[in-house]
Amino acid sequence: MNSLIREAASYPRLLRGMLEWKSDVVPQKVFYGADERQYFLYFAPEGVPRETVVVYVHGGGWNKGSPDFFTFMGQRFAREGYRCIMPGYRLAPGHPFPAQIEDVRAGTWAGLEYLRDRGMDLRRVVVVGSSAGAQLGALLCYGGELAGRFAGFVGLGGPYRFDLEPTLSMKRLCKGLLGGGEALPAQPYYLLNEESPKTPMLIVQGLEDAVVGYACGADFYRRALEVGIPARFYAPPTGRDSHSVYVAGCFLEECETGDVVMRWMRDVEG
């Protein structure tokens, strides 16, 4: 119960940070489908960009959120020198799974083609996802037609399996996502095996995460190591490990979790 109270108490600070955020990058908006949510935003850094391109997948419990709402994420990566693509996707329950991952794959491909057509180097692409976006990012990296094409995966607070000590929030959200459909294809944990792409990953999971639960991320990390995927695990410090604080708030201000993510990405660049 204390973790739920802490989670609720974090929302005003997060909203204040979003309202006070100083936007310094105007993204390009490009539609890749007929639905109003089938678009991507492209954020271009000032000056000479880093070699790595970031695909950032937003969260929101699969039933809310959009790239337009989370523009500060893309702007933060652009400030760090990364070109960033943010694919939008259709939301549950109006569009049950697998609509979300179908759109993320299509939007990612369209975004990368957009950059390729402009002569940009796409040899190193890292996928980053927060919360539901981490689940979708893991599906993108380790399953489907684009699996194996990425240089790294960063998952912050991701629900990688739905059957391991699910919280009340996860039970409700998963029911809305699946709409009575099969749960197994939506769980990245069950994609990982000895034949999986050996895409390095950084898993960030809060010990006091009342939305997803600590065990979900820790178990995904252990499974990655078991099948030979290079993986690192990071637990945010106590007091900074409420779900919204470390999956989104870390992009709004200087903090240890954000620093860990950026250092890991620089390490991937070599």
Helix, coil or strand: residue 232: strand
CB atoms under 10 Å from CB of 168, counted, come to 10
Read off the pLDDT of residues 231-255 as tens digits, 9 standing for 90 and up.
999 999 987 788 998 999 889 888 8
- pLDDT of amino acid 89: 98
7 band by pLDDT with thresholds 50, 70 and 90:
low
The domains of the chain are located at 2-269
Q: 12 or 244: whose pLDDT is higher?
A: 244
pLDDT at 146 over 70: yes
CA 134/CA 185 separation, integer angstroms: 15
Say whether 69 sits in a helix, a strand or coil: coil
What superfamily would CATH give domain 2-269? Alpha/Beta hydrolase fold, catalytic domain (3.40.50.1820)
The pLDDT value given to residue 208: 87
**Cα 220 versus chain centre, distance:** 15
* pTM score, whole prediction: 0.95
> Tens digits of per-residue pLDDT, 206-221?
998 989 999 999 999 9
Among 104, 121, 125, which residue's Cα sits nearest to residue 197?
A: 125
Mean pLDDT along residues 33-59: 96
CA dihedral 130, 143, 120, 44 (to 10 degrees): -10
Residues 41, 125: Cα–Cα separation, whole Å: 16
Instruction: Please answer whether residues 151 and 125 qualify as being in contact, where contact means their C-beta atoms are separated by less than 8 angstroms.
Output: yes
Count how many Cα atoms sit within 13 Å of the Cα of residue 248 in the half-sphere of its side chain: 27
pLDDT of 40: 98
